[in-house]
Structure 1
Amino acid sequence: MSQQDTEQQATISRVTTGMRVIDSTGTEIGTVDLVQRGDPNAVTVQGTPNADPGSSLDELIESTTVEEPDVPADLAARLLHSGYLKVSTDLVPTGAVYVLADRIATVTADGVRLAVPAADLPPEQ
């Protein structure tokens, strides 16, 4: 694990459910619903030379019996590998967005401040 990965895991470990989440513009976007630390051994999406072009990346993720995160397979693999937050919000129709661990700027008693605007966060499907 690189030093950057270690720092990201230390940052995400200070996040708890119910914390306020504020984007890089200073807008409160919602509250933390789920905290998932990264798993460097998480399923990654890699093509194989003899892969059936009709195979679905979503099938690969579903085969791991992981219900979260509810996003396309390639993004789910990145979220599982690096760690993420699921944030309940009124900003998207599905009611939640995901925050990659490397998008967290700081964690304080006041909440989680992000390094990106809310518009850059992938919504739950």
Structure 2
Amino acid sequence: MNQRGTQQQGVISRITTGMRVIDSTGVEIGTVDLVQRGDPNAVTVQGPPTADPGSSLDELIESTAVEEPDVPADLAARLLHSGYLKVSTDLARTGAVYVLAERIAAVTDGVRLDVPVEDLPAEE
């Protein structure tokens, strides 16, 4: 892992669920719902298995469970590779946005980002 990647992992390791998240314009966008450290070997994302119509109800429910991150595969691969936060917010239609580790400007009493909330990908 390069020096920048190591620094990002150090920053992300100081973040805990429930912390406030503030975008680059100073708007509090929500709270951290999930913290995922980067995996430099992450290159693909597997979707949930398709449900067999003859499956039990438990199998059907399990097959429709959403894997994180719930975004298009190319973006999911980037998020998994670099590390990310899932932020619960009322500012997105789906109720959550994702933050790439490299978009974290500082961690103090909250998480400060270097982008406005409009630039963050929403959960699908």
Could you state the TM-score of these two structures normalised by the residue count of structure 2? 0.83
The Cα offsets for residues 50-99 of structure 1, whole Å up to 9 and x where unpaired, read as xxxxxxxxxx5316998100000000000000000000000011100000
Gaps of 5+ in 2: 50-64
Task: Work out the CA distance in 2 between the residues paired with 1:72 and 1:117.
Answer: 21
Could you state the TM-score of these two structures normalised by the residue count of structure 1? 0.83
Query: Which runs of structure 1 show a deviation greater than 2 angstroms over 4 or more consecutive aligned residues?
Result: 63-66
Task: Work out the CA distance in 1 between the residues paired with 2:89 and 2:6.
Answer: 28
Q: Across the two proteins, how many residue pairs are aligned to each other?
A: 109
The root-mean-square deviation of aligned C-alpha atoms, in Å, is 1.7
Equivalence map 1:14-93=2 (5 Å): 14-44=14-44, 61-62=46-47, 67-93=67-93
Of structures 1 and 2, the larger Rg is shown by 2
Percent identity of paired positions between Structure 1 and Structure 2: 79
Task: Work out the CA distance in 1 between the residues paired with 2:31 and 2:123.
Answer: 14
SS at match of 2:9: helix
Instruction: Please tell me whether the aligned partners of residues 22 and 30 of structure 2 are also in contact (alpha carbons under 8 angstroms).
Output: yes
Instruction: Please tell me whether the aligned partners of residues 48 and 67 of structure 2 are also in contact (alpha carbons under 8 angstroms).
Output: no
